[in-house]
Amino acid sequence: MTSNLCINRLILALTLCGGLPFTSKAELNYSDKAIVQQSTIKVKGTVVDEQGESIIGATVIQQGTKNGTITDLDGKFVLDVPEGSHLVVSFIGYTNSIVSAKPSMTITLHSNISDLNEVVVVGYGIQKKVDVVGSISTVNSKQLESRGVSNVSNMLTGHLSGVTITQRSGNPGKDEASIRVRGVGSFGATPEPLILIDGLPGSWSDLTPSDIENISVLKDASSAAIYGSRAANGVILVTTKGGKDGRTRVSYNGSMGLSKAFSLPEFAHSYEYATYYNMAIGKNTYTDEMIQKFKDGSDPDNYADENYLEKLLGGTAFQTKHELNVSGGNGRVQYMASLGYMRQNGLVPHNYYNNYQGRLNLNAEITKRLKLNIRLSGNVADRHEPSTPGALDLSGVTSIIQQAVRYPGLTPTYMSDGSLGLGPKLQGTPISWAECASFYRTDDNRFKANAELAYTPLKGLTLKCVGGYHYGASNNYDYRCNMILGDGRGTGPSSLTEQMTLTVYKTFQLLANYNIQIKKHDIMALAGYAWEDERSRNLSGYRNKFPSDETPYLDAGGADGQLNGGGGYDWAMQSLFGRIVYNYDQRYLFETTARYDGSSRFPTGNKYAFFPSVAVGWRVSEESFWKSAPSLHFFSNLKLRASHGVLGNNNIGNYPYQSVYKLGSKQNYVFGGVYTQGAAVTTYVDPTLKWERTKTTDFGIETGFFKNTLTFNATYFYRKTMDILYKPAASYSAIFGLAVSQVNTGELENKGWEFEIGYQNHYKKLQYHVNGNLSIIKNKVLTLGMGNVQQTNGMVGNGSDLFIGYPMDMFYGYKTDGVFLNDNEVASWYDQTAIAKGSRAGDLRFVDVTGDNKVTNADKVYLGSRIPKYTFGLNLGLAYSGIDFSMLIQGVAGVKGLLTSYAGLAFNQEGNIQRWQMKENWNVQQDNRYPGYPRLEVTSGSGSPNTQLSDFWVQNASFVKVRNIQVGYTIPQNQTKKWGVSNARVYLSLDNPISIDHYKKGWDPENTKNNGTYYPVMSTYTLGLTLSF
């Protein structure tokens, strides 16, 4: 925690006046005579924090004596001590430091992140950490520094209990993580948490790490109900840095790094592919002569041996970040201005992301009663990726990667004469697609302005008026070139689709805060009104047959076949909210919150809803009976807390309750002998739609031991989501005579435990800390309402991934017991012809679960879920004489993944074969009952009996990953001051270097939904430099 000059001056004044415990001057000089008898030195020093900023009012004492002093307004001190003495340096909120006395020295104190005086950002305000009765997890700026990942959302991984963060892509500019707070809260509306930056909605791409002061995640009703209808999936509050009184401070953080794919599957060489293809199909499609040509490379134009995926993703990519921050203040005005630039190159050709960011935070004291806070920020970003050439029924870089996974490298990208090869489908290869003139580009420009005017008419009463304006302009370009292949044929006419989108968000808030203290009673009250409005419009155009790839502009294309389109949306909200916080004698805590929200997304009669909460807390460690018990003195803190409340979710479409008339040939009719254009309602919508509601209950305990060097917190939570928006079963369409849209019909629960433990201490110059967290979350579907359908096995659900009594996103399929070793076993096994006709040796043996001597749909069972039951993180840190080391470990357990499609199936739609499939298939292990892969076969788009969803393909997706390893060195200040630099640190950071898992080699267990169709997550090696002036 960084000191504020005003607070430091107060502490200094209180210390000098006896307001804080300290030794008097007479006591300090109690042993002048003894000191004179020894050789003394005059120590002149400065006490600073980790950022090199002076700490005012720090205590400096000769160890074992009462000889001491405090630092002045510049953090400096002078003290006479005997030679060989040690100094104990301390300050509130920092870990004590013991150093050897020298004539000239600079002493760095490290923040004590468990300090009970720490404040926590809550909705529309701040509270002391010890007074918080809600469930809130926090991350400070120190924990996010110097990481090599490009998106702030990925930096949070492993730091927060109850928060599951999943990174599913390394695509530059599209690598934002998926964040789930306390499980998945809905299978209807979007389960994303609400993200607020300085109190107003934002996104991770709006931020640079150096701008962040702290992040709070509100997880229960007590902390989140103040945000009502958008809080059901958690609220993430990001506070950006502000200026501080004192001299102008300039800081720079720059880094350069190299990234590579975290993991890639290994595929067969062409001659191996041909050999195993013959084995799979049962005949010599590839002759021995052909196989030999693949092997010796004697005819590369016709018998190539390429690895498309390795060529596409096997290299390294450069990235760089530069952030400049200027801050300061003069007592009346504080300012912070920052500029940031990031360049992130992808592994694929023509794939990159540029992001330019600027921010200005200004706090001004107009009068003693009137203050103005302004927050301005802007982003200019462009993202570029290759796209497929004209006429291909594919688009974007992920489609190119998918086809690189799919196709064996039997045909060359380039012929020996330099022309483009024809490729597997006479359309070129994935490599030529990535290198051609096709592209998909997004230009994104955003500007955000927030202003707050605060007036204090009476002591304890503050009135605030807040206004916000956000402007966003996005242009998307999808250009497809006509790629000319080696035989002169083109892939199809070139085309361009261009779309422009403008979005404007406005908000207005009125807030009143009142704080009063009456003897032992502390009362804080908040009342507020908020209005929000967002409007978006888009226009699109399409043309084809461009004369040149050098002119990808709409007006250069042919007018024949041109298309245009457009659309948009509007939504608005208005809210009333309030909070009362009561604290009696720092022991008994009470808080109640309520919000009344109205949204344009719901019909008249259901536009408004009420979201209340209540919480209580008891600081047991402040009781006199506790303090007087000698056996309990090792307790620094013991707090019990509980909360209950209701939250809402309005993350649905903007017009879900409005009927839409559809135009089309099916709606046309004959009127008066003339065929006439018609319109009709084709989908029934529920005119009584209402909010999804989540009831939450929390019980927690917070403890600290040995002056909070050791802390332990535990929380039990229960969340029940009701009125989930879900599309009813198809049978209801027959009743209504048309398709049925979403209705409020489902229920879901998430319950579990969260644990946090931390230990920090020092041994002489060695500072160290260990922080760990563990979350145990059980997700269960309670009902689908109108979506309930009883299956043949008695289970009730949608027949796919939602069943009553089981987690969401589950796998529903067959159990297996190895493979048939011979045809006799097929004949003696249960009759499985209902699901697997024509079974033979090497095929999977499906288990008869019901015991009726046959395998049918009734034998399908629950096989696991993609939602992890256990999530954990471990953060380790060491610091010694300017050298620092940290490691972040994170993992999940009790989670499954499905390995299928091009990632799991050999020769899928005549696709490729991986090395593990070559080694582990039944054809080469015919005496193995449980091979790693069944009989080889060439499958079509409809698959085969072996490819049905079964436990054979459902894999253990648990993992432990080292998310970050970092080593840094802070150059001694007596050296950096010669350069005019107050603080300088160099560091080496490794992100995603190691994974321990049981998933099939080359595939990421964190990304199991898009089998073979995802941009791999990056391992990044970063070298960086931070400077302070």
What pLDDT score does 19 carry?
38
What pLDDT score does 24 carry?
36
Q: DSSP strand E in 205-245: where?
A: 212-218, 235-240
What pLDDT score does 656 carry?
78
Q: Is 914 exposed, middle or buried (0-12, 13-18, 19+ CB in 10 A)?
A: buried
The encoded tokens of residue 898 equal: 């499905």
Torsion of CA 121, 124, 127, 131, to 10 degrees: -110
Q: Is residue 8 within 8 Å of 91, Cβ to Cβ? A: no
Neighbours of 161 (CB within 10 A): 24
Distance between CA atoms of 404 and 398, rounded to whole angstroms? 10
Sites in the chain below the pLDDT cut of 50 = 1-36, 113-114
Torsion of CA 746, 750, 751, 757, to 10 degrees: -170
* Extents of the domains making up the chain: 5-108, 119-246, 268-306
> For 585-632, how does the pLDDT look when each residue is reduced to its tens digit (9 = 90+)?
999 999 999 999 999 988 888 899 999 999 999 999 999 998 888 888
> For 35-61, how does the pLDDT look when each residue is reduced to its tens digit (9 = 90+)?
345 688 999 988 987 767 778 778 899
Q: CATH code for 119-246?
A: 2.170.130.10
Task: From residue 594, give the alpha-carbon distance in Å to each of 224, 300, 641, 645.
Answer: 10, 72, 19, 9
Q: Is residue 820 within 8 Å of 839, Cβ to Cβ? A: yes
> For 172-194, how does the pLDDT look when each residue is reduced to its tens digit (9 = 90+)?
998 888 899 999 999 888 888 99
Distance between CA atoms of 79 and 99, rounded to whole angstroms? 14
Phi, psi of 871 (to 5 degrees): -135, 135
3-state secondary structure of 8: helix
Please identify which residue in the block is written with the tokens 């309602």.
681
Q: Is residue 481 within 8 Å of 549, Cβ to Cβ? A: yes
Q: Rg for the chain (alpha carbons), in Å?
A: 33
What pLDDT score does 510 carry?
97
- Percentage of the chain lying above the pLDDT 90 cut: 64
Alpha carbon 59 to its chain's center: 41
Q: Is residue 699 within 8 Å of 221, Cβ to Cβ? A: no
CATH of 5-108, one of 3.40.50.300, 3.30.30.10, 2.50.20.10, 2.60.40.1120: 2.60.40.1120
Q: Is 220 exposed, middle or buried (0-12, 13-18, 19+ CB in 10 A)?
A: buried
Predicted TM-score (pTM) of this structure: 0.85
Q: Strand 104-108 and strand 40-48: pairing?
A: parallel
What pLDDT score does 74 carry?
73
Residues 6+ apart with CB under 8 A from 72: 56
Please identify which residue in the block is written with the tokens 């760095």.
108
Phi, psi of 808 (to 5 degrees): -65, 165
Residue 500 CB-half CA count within 13 A? 4
